[in-house]
Chains A and B, each alone.
Chain A
Amino acid sequence: MILLATLLVLAVAALGWWLARRRARQVELRAHGHRDRLHSRPVYHGLYVAIWTGVPALLLLLAWIVVQGPVLDALLLSSLPQDVVRGLDENARAVLLNEIKTRAAGNALPGQPAPYVLEAVQRLLRWRAIADMAALALSLAVALAGLAFSWRRLSPSFRARKAVERAFTWLMLLCASLAVLTTVGIVLSLIFETMRFFTMVPLSEFLFGLRWEPQIAFRPDQVASSGAFGMIPVFAGTLLISAIALGFAVPVGLLSAIYLAEFASGRFRAVAKPTLEFLAGIPTVVYGFFAILTVAPAIKRFGEALGIAAAPNSALAAGLVMGIMLIPFISSLSDDALAAVPNALREGSIGLGATRAETIRHVLLPAALPGIMAGVLLAASRAIGETMIVVMAAGIIATLTLNPFEAVTTVTVQIVTLLIGDTEFDNPKTLAAFALGFVLFLVTLALNMLSMHIVRKYREQYD
């Protein structure tokens, strides 16, 4: 029904567009060469009428969709016999409402419904029909009113173009604000769920606790029935894997960038650059599978050769594969930083007799250092936030260790494992994922801001 109303509104808007444009065209033809020409081209007259016809009515429909469900729920609850509703808490009411809605949709449920439920089903269906008709009639009325209003304002001297352009500017501003709204949405939803988490688990335990055992007991007398939510071991695991990844990727990526920027021939560059970019475009789930298929068994064999027992999902395997993922990222950012160093510095150094290596070490690297640092910080932020590689290749149990052959878990692994298949946000287990997500968001945000700050502060030093 809402869909039908939307289509009808759009049809009316299109009709308004066509009528207004036609009228403006006729005026234009008649007035050809006269003084009282149109201010705006006919298409703007059409658009003006279409905007006034369509936008308010569609906004009304949107609001209707949002409001209808909760309003009907409230009406339905208040129409049920008082003695039934009074004894129920929040959840039981939701279950009852759900039962009524399921039956109203014509789906069978086990058991014989209570008579008041059947009455409520009938009421709900009746109300829904009324609400749908009302939505249809109201939106059409609003559309026609908009049509009439804008139609009456049209005249040859009417500045339709200005009005349409103003509407477009607002639309564009709205789109640009979506980026801000997304950030606000992320922050608000994370804060909201995190606050709920901290009503169940004290903040000090989360920040300083040394045990992370987020299981929920099935029976109250079970062993370890309480669960523990100390994020230190989870965060330590994240840092261990990220450190391995960066320790591998930063030297390799930086040296590749140096070679590509300063030593390589044009032909070699033409092959190597796209290869590195191809590495950068591979989805991380592919790296994750590569880790379990090839790297983890290789590390296990390597550990056995050294006489060390390596876990099948060792931190080393996840870290190394993450390092492979970061190489092109670091390499391309360092390449940009090196390319941004003015040629005068390069040529000056070589002109004084320095070899290429000396130029790189004493002139280019210090000059490009801010850019390279910014790149490394961005890479660190990516390593900490990287999810699929660690979900597939790292462990689930939080262990506080520095041994790279052992399995550790990370913040992102915990977020995913706590939330897969779970949608109830009423226990500390799922809410803990949001608390971890909030910490993750803050850490990566800080790293990104720091990196942007470094770039901005040192960028134009040589220009």
Chain B
Amino acid sequence: MTDRTEQKPSETAKDATAENAAADIDANGRIDWHSPQMLARLRRRHAANRRMKFIGLAAILLAAGLLSILVGSLLKSGLPAFRQTFITLEFDLKPELVKPDNMRRGKWRKIVKEGLLRALPEDMRNNRKLKRKVLKIVSRSAPYALRDHVMKNPHLVGRIIPFDVLASDPYDQFNKGLLPEYVGAGERKRPNPKLGGPEVVRAFRVLKEQKRVSLPFNWGLFFNADSRLPEAAGLAGAIVGSFLTLLVTFLISFPTGILAAIYLEEFAPKNRFTDFVEININNLAAVPSVVFGLLGLSLFIGFFGVPRSTPLVGGMVLSLMTLPTIIIATRAALKAVPPSLREAALGVGASHHQMVFHHVLPVAMPGILTGAIIGMAQALGETAPLLLVGMNAFIPDISNMGITEPATALPTQIYSWADSPERGFVSRTAAAILVLLGFLLAMNTLAIWLRQRYSTKW
């Protein structure tokens, strides 16, 4: 389609030259602007113009449509994960099951199972089949959650306490209407095996009728550590890991980038070395990120012995990647400071260094910060180099995080979850992406705000 329309104007041009000699020019050499041929040609040219405009608009709308499909599919599969199904049950903390002197060895699974059965009517409670499978309703993490709660509050032992437990992933999805009760169609229609059988589904319905099933906002998504169970997995480890990594990146690349840019813009003599440095910086900005990962792996980890998988090594690699961004932004900001300011400073007796550090740099700071934030936003989304330096560790416990401890980051967490076979992780992954995009949006908004708030028109 593009081909045809791009051909059209050249055909018209050819036509025009051919016809010029014949119809349009009368005996006196005057052009007849209203001859039928001329009018037809004009119509054709205007049609070609409209076609080109239309194709351009179509291209933009295609790009916009793809963007909305992207965002739409992420929202559709991610938004449900922002709410989580909980089941409120009463648990009988009998001392013989809890084992108060060593609660880690208590029969917590049994307590949870009894708690589930207590809530069900008599006939269901005695159903053997159901008894075996009733635990399918709650998360496998529920016994541990109950145990931790009781260990924190030992005075509860011996009482019957109400407690909210997580529903298992299939029942979470079922409750949100994302998992069908039956699979297959027609003859081959059968109960969904993921739900554990019709009697378990019936039991869940009973719990729902008793208003024990709730669907509150999923704070666990932000405050839980990673888990193999989709319903219990959260982003806390990834968020802290990303924060530590970005901290290292910022501490290295921000001062280094600014000083390098000041040197190149204000002090460097025009010579071969300076040219070489500039070409290098431009090239580094376009080196594939995975190559930086290789550098980190062989130089930082292999040669310098920086501990693997840590925010320290991840931040070092990312700082090399953000350096060009910060240098380029800083140079642009320094260039934008008017010469009158410099000359005034020099005129009252400041040295070159004083002029740059006392007068030019503060004025250029908003621009530099904007560039730095954009660089940090890029670093936040960077995945491949972090994978290569091993920053996709499984961190089920976030109490022990530091820049020299193994960690994971938001984008690598997204990659790990996207790789998990459990169905519940699809929704979690999309939700994690929405969280990441939220952070990026906030950082970019901050950058734009800084630029508009503090930019000076000279």
Residue among B289, B353, B411, B429 making CB contact with A168, cutoff 8 Å: B353
Whole-angstrom distance between the Cβ of A463 and the nearest chain B Cβ = 18
Residue among A180, A293, A362, A434 making CB contact with B298, cutoff 8 Å: A434
A182-B295, A355-B45, A392-B415 are known contacts. Are A283 and B9 too (CB-CB below 8 A)?
Answer: no
What separation, in Å, do the CA atoms of A189 and B433 have in the docked complex?
34
Stretch at the interface among B79-87, B127-135, B175-183, B254-262: B254-262
Residue among B267, B291, B418 making CB contact with A292, cutoff 8 Å: B418
Residue among B46, B59, B281, B320 making CB contact with A259, cutoff 8 Å: B59
**Is the CB–CB distance between B286 and A293 below 8 Å?**
no
Stretch at the interface among A53-61, A76-84, A149-157, A444-452: A444-452
**Is the CB–CB distance between B277 and A420 below 8 Å?**
no
A263-B56, A388-B384 are known contacts. Are A357 and B49 too (CB-CB below 8 A)?
Answer: yes
Contacts of B56-75 to chain A: CB distance below 8 A: 56-60, 62-64, 66-67, 69-70, 73-74
When C-beta atoms are compared, the residue in chain B nearest to A279 turns out to be B67
**Is the CB–CB distance between A433 and B264 below 8 Å?**
no
What separation, in Å, do the CA atoms of A175 and B267 have in the docked complex?
13
**Is the CB–CB distance between B288 and A272 below 8 Å?**
no
Whole-angstrom distance between the Cβ of A214 and the nearest chain B Cβ = 16
Whole-angstrom distance between the Cβ of B361 and the nearest chain A Cβ = 12
What separation, in Å, do the CA atoms of A382 and B288 have in the docked complex?
7
How many chain B residues touch A (Cβ–Cβ < 8 Å)? 93
Residue among A165, A287, A448 making CB contact with B351, cutoff 8 Å: A165
A252-B62, A252-B63, A283-B383 are known contacts. Are A358 and B294 too (CB-CB below 8 A)?
Answer: no
Report if A183 contacts B (CB, 8 A).
yes
When C-beta atoms are compared, the residue in chain A nearest to B285 turns out to be A448
**Is the CB–CB distance between B59 and A440 below 8 Å?**
no
Stretch at the interface among A7-15, A132-140, A411-419: A411-419
Whole-angstrom distance between the Cβ of B446 and the nearest chain A Cβ = 13
Report if B246 contacts A (CB, 8 A).
no
When C-beta atoms are compared, the residue in chain A nearest to B66 turns out to be A324
Contacts of A391-424 to chain B: CB distance below 8 A: 391-392, 412, 415-416, 419-421, 423
When C-beta atoms are compared, the residue in chain A nearest to B55 turns out to be A255
Report if A201 contacts B (CB, 8 A).
no
Query: Which residues in B have their C-beta under 8 angstroms from that of A118?
Result: none
**Is the CB–CB distance between A193 and B53 below 8 Å?**
no
Query: Which residues in B have their C-beta under 8 angstroms from that of A190?
Result: 291, 294-295, 298
A289-B430, A293-B430, A437-B294 are known contacts. Are A361 and B59 too (CB-CB below 8 A)?
Answer: no
**Is the CB–CB distance between A251 and B288 below 8 Å?**
no
Mask: chain A, 140-169; 1 = CB below 8 Å from B; 0 = not: 000000000000000000000100010011
What separation, in Å, do the CA atoms of A171 and B74 have in the docked complex?
47
Whole-angstrom distance between the Cβ of B81 and the nearest chain A Cβ = 13
Residue among A193, A279, A287, A448 making CB contact with B63, cutoff 8 Å: A279
**Is the CB–CB distance between A357 and B73 below 8 Å?**
no
What separation, in Å, do the CA atoms of A294 and B287 have in the docked complex?
29
A361-B6, A416-B388, A448-B286 are known contacts. Are A327 and B63 too (CB-CB below 8 A)?
Answer: yes
Residue among A172, A328, A361, A387 making CB contact with B288, cutoff 8 Å: A387
When C-beta atoms are compared, the residue in chain A nearest to B69 turns out to be A294
Whole-angstrom distance between the Cβ of A194 and the nearest chain B Cβ = 10
Mask: chain B, 1-37; 1 = CB below 8 Å from A; 0 = not: 0100010011001000000000000000000000000
Query: Which residues in A have their C-beta under 8 angstroms from that of B9?
Result: 357-358, 361-362
Residue among B63, B64, B444 making CB contact with A281, cutoff 8 Å: B444
**Is the CB–CB distance between B323 and A169 below 8 Å?**
no
Report if B141 contacts A (CB, 8 A).
no
Query: Which residues in A have their C-beta under 8 angstroms from that of B59?
Result: 251-253, 255-256, 259
Whole-angstrom distance between the Cβ of A396 and the nearest chain B Cβ = 12
**Is the CB–CB distance between B282 and A452 below 8 Å?**
yes
Contacts of A264-311 to chain B: CB distance below 8 A: 264, 272, 275-276, 278-279, 281-290, 292-294
Residue among B70, B288, B351 making CB contact with A444, cutoff 8 Å: B288
Report if A458 contacts B (CB, 8 A).
no
What separation, in Å, do the CA atoms of A391 and B268 have in the docked complex?
42
Report if A116 contacts B (CB, 8 A).
no
**Is the CB–CB distance between A175 and B433 below 8 Å?**
no
Residue among A252, A279, A289 making CB contact with B414, cutoff 8 Å: A289
What separation, in Å, do the CA atoms of A441 and B74 have in the docked complex?
33
What separation, in Å, do the CA atoms of A249 and B263 have in the docked complex?
38
What separation, in Å, do the CA atoms of A411 and B365 have in the docked complex?
40
Report if A129 contacts B (CB, 8 A).
no
**Is the CB–CB distance between A392 and B440 below 8 Å?**
no
**Is the CB–CB distance between B323 and A412 below 8 Å?**
no
Query: Which residues in B have their C-beta under 8 angstroms from that of A421?
Result: 390
A179-B324, A360-B52, A440-B291 are known contacts. Are A392 and B64 too (CB-CB below 8 A)?
Answer: no
**Is the CB–CB distance between A444 and B287 below 8 Å?**
yes
Report if B283 contacts A (CB, 8 A).
yes
Residue among B77, B294, B384 making CB contact with A189, cutoff 8 Å: B294
Report if A381 contacts B (CB, 8 A).
yes
Whole-angstrom distance between the Cβ of B173 and the nearest chain A Cβ = 16
Whole-angstrom distance between the Cβ of A293 and the nearest chain B Cβ = 6
**Is the CB–CB distance between A176 and B264 below 8 Å?**
yes
**Is the CB–CB distance between A182 and B323 below 8 Å?**
yes
Query: Which residues in A have their C-beta under 8 angstroms from that of B264?
Result: 176
**Is the CB–CB distance between B57 and A178 below 8 Å?**
no
Query: Which residues in B have their C-beta under 8 angstroms from that of A387?
Result: 288-290, 383-384
Whole-angstrom distance between the Cβ of B347 and the nearest chain A Cβ = 18
What separation, in Å, do the CA atoms of A358 and B10 have in the docked complex?
9
Report if B95 contacts A (CB, 8 A).
no
Query: Which residues in B have their C-beta under 8 angstroms from that of A276?
Result: 63
A251-B59, A361-B6, A423-B301 are known contacts. Are A283 and B381 too (CB-CB below 8 A)?
Answer: yes
Whole-angstrom distance between the Cβ of A418 and the nearest chain B Cβ = 10
What separation, in Å, do the CA atoms of A288 and B297 have in the docked complex?
23
Query: Which residues in A have their C-beta under 8 angstroms from that of B90?
Result: none
Query: Which residues in B have their C-beta under 8 angstroms from that of A384?
Result: 288
**Is the CB–CB distance between B256 and A193 below 8 Å?**
no
Query: Which residues in A have their C-beta under 8 angstroms from that of B437?
Result: 282, 286
**Is the CB–CB distance between B294 and A434 below 8 Å?**
yes
Contacts of B391-415 to chain A: CB distance below 8 A: 392, 411, 414-415
When C-beta atoms are compared, the residue in chain B nearest to A249 turns out to be B63
Query: Which residues in A have their C-beta under 8 angstroms from that of B67?
Result: 275, 278-279
**Is the CB–CB distance between A355 and B46 below 8 Å?**
yes
Report if B193 contacts A (CB, 8 A).
no
**Is the CB–CB distance between B298 and A289 below 8 Å?**
no
**Is the CB–CB distance between A179 and B284 below 8 Å?**
yes
**Is the CB–CB distance between A186 and B291 below 8 Å?**
yes
Query: Which residues in B have their C-beta under 8 angstroms from that of A452?
Result: 279, 282
Report if B280 contacts A (CB, 8 A).
yes
A263-B56, A293-B426, A412-B288 are known contacts. Are A179 and B280 too (CB-CB below 8 A)?
Answer: yes
Chosen A-B contacts, 24 in total, with CB atoms closer than 8 Å, are A165-B352, A169-B267, A172-B259, A176-B259, A179-B280, A179-B323, A180-B280, A189-B302, A251-B59, A255-B2, A255-B60, A256-B56, A272-B60, A285-B381, A285-B415, A289-B414, A357-B51, A382-B288, A391-B415, A392-B415, A420-B392, A423-B390, A444-B287, A444-B291
7 cross-chain pairs, A with B, having the tightest CB-CB distances, nearest first = A385-B288, A259-B56, A283-B381, A172-B263, A255-B59, A387-B384, A357-B52
Measured CB to CB, the residues of B under 8 A from A are 2, 6, 9-10, 13, 45-46, 48-49, 51-53, 55-60, 62-64, 66-67, 69-70, 73-74, 77, 255-257, 259-260, 262-264, 267-268, 276-277, 279-284, 286-295, 297-299, 301-303, 305, 308, 320, 323-324, 327, 351-353, 377, 380-384, 387-388, 390, 392, 411, 414-415, 418, 426, 429-430, 433, 436-437, 440, 444
Not counting A290-B70, A437-B290, a sample of 8 additional A-B residue pairs whose C-beta atoms are within 8 angstroms of each other reads: A175-B256, A179-B277, A186-B291, A189-B298, A189-B303, A361-B52, A362-B9, A416-B387
